[in-house]
Amino acid sequence: MATSARRERGTSPRRERGTSQSLKALLGIRELVFSGEVGPGVRLSEVTLSGRLGISRTPIRAALAQLDQEGVVEAIPSGGYTVRSFTQVDVADAIELRGALEGVAARIAAERGVPAARLQTMHSLLAELDHVVADPKRTDFAVYIARNGEFHDLLHTLSGSETIRRELERVMRLPFAAPNAFITAQAEMPEIRVSLLVAQAQHRAIVNAIEMREGARAEAIAREHARLARTNLDVMIEDTKLINKVPGLSLISG
């Protein structure tokens, strides 16, 4: 049955293994970089990465080329790649771009209308998030990250536009652009945990605006929602104690 299905899709076991290895290499190198295990300016050796991740050099090479396109690493004249560092402006621009596209996605969803079943899914996610953030001092951040990711993934598809979904997928690969990029810091900094309550209020307002077919309002709130991440970034950068606790924060310079 599986062999027949692969035949119908025009794939082969060898090709599927190759795709799996390429994805494993891409995710593995990203994790090494954003966890802070590999710092800015460090040269990434195909041989070393291959041994560390247990993957052959061919998918490692392809993954490094992909990360170069995404701006996570940069090619060096002597060959190979090094880990990039980012300024606060770089990160702020990436967050702003994500907010702009999410705003467009929300506006078009409101203008075109969203099926009741999909809106119900959004409301179910909102209810789960309400429960998670009810007590900021006891937030289960693993659950929050999962549900927040689901919320934004669904928001990206509500307009029905494959073009918008594809461009948002591209933007989400930019360093620190994803909605969950700095969630870990909120666990480390009680003074900004309250921002989860603000974010959840914005989630509800976005869904309400879409439901009420208020496109301009939906777009404005989605943009403001992204700017909340920029505010938290500024707070985190000033706290030097977080440099080794928040994934990727060591890559950001002043």
Total domains in the chain come to: 2
Residue 114 and residue 66 share a domain: no
H-assigned helices in the chain: 2-9, 13-34, 46-53, 57-70, 88-112, 116-133, 141-155, 162-171, 183-188, 190-193, 195-211, 215-237
The partner residues of 82 in beta bridges, in order of sequence, read 43, 74
What does the pLDDT average to over 182-195?
A: 72
- Domain containing 133 — which CATH number? 1.20.120.530
Instruction: Point out the domain boundary residue: 40, 67, 84.
Output: 84
Instruction: Point out the domain boundary residue: 66, 84, 102.
Output: 84
Report the mean per-residue pLDDT for the chain: 86
- Domain containing 24 — which CATH number? 1.10.10.10
What does the pLDDT average to over 231-244?
A: 75
Residue 183 and residue 153 share a domain: yes
Residue 133 and residue 205 share a domain: yes
Looking up tokens 């080329």 gives: 65
Residue 59 and residue 100 share a domain: no
Convert the pLDDT of each residue in 80-97 to its tens digit. 899 988 888 888 999 999
Residue 236 and residue 209 share a domain: yes
pTM of the complete model: 0.77
Instruction: Point out the domain boundary residue: 54, 84, 114.
Output: 84
Q: What is the pLDDT of residue 7?
A: 41
Residue 176 and residue 126 share a domain: yes
Residue 236 and residue 123 share a domain: yes
Q: What is the pLDDT of residue 243?
A: 65
Residue 170 and residue 95 share a domain: yes
Q: What is the pLDDT of residue 51?
A: 93
For the stretch 228-243, what's the b/e string if a residue is b when 16 or more beta carbons lie within 10 angstroms of its beta carbon? bbbebbebbbebeebe
Q: Which domain holds residue 159?
A: 87-253
Q: Is the pLDDT of residue 238 over 80?
A: no
Q: What is the pLDDT of residue 195?
A: 86
Assign 73 to helix, strand or coil: strand
Which is more confidently placed, 137 or 156?
Answer: 156
Would you say 178 and 171 are in contact if contact means Cβ atoms under 8 Å apart? no
Residue 110 and residue 69 share a domain: no
Q: Is the pLDDT of residue 1 over 90?
A: no
Residue 212 and residue 113 share a domain: yes
Q: Is the pLDDT of residue 47 over 70?
A: yes
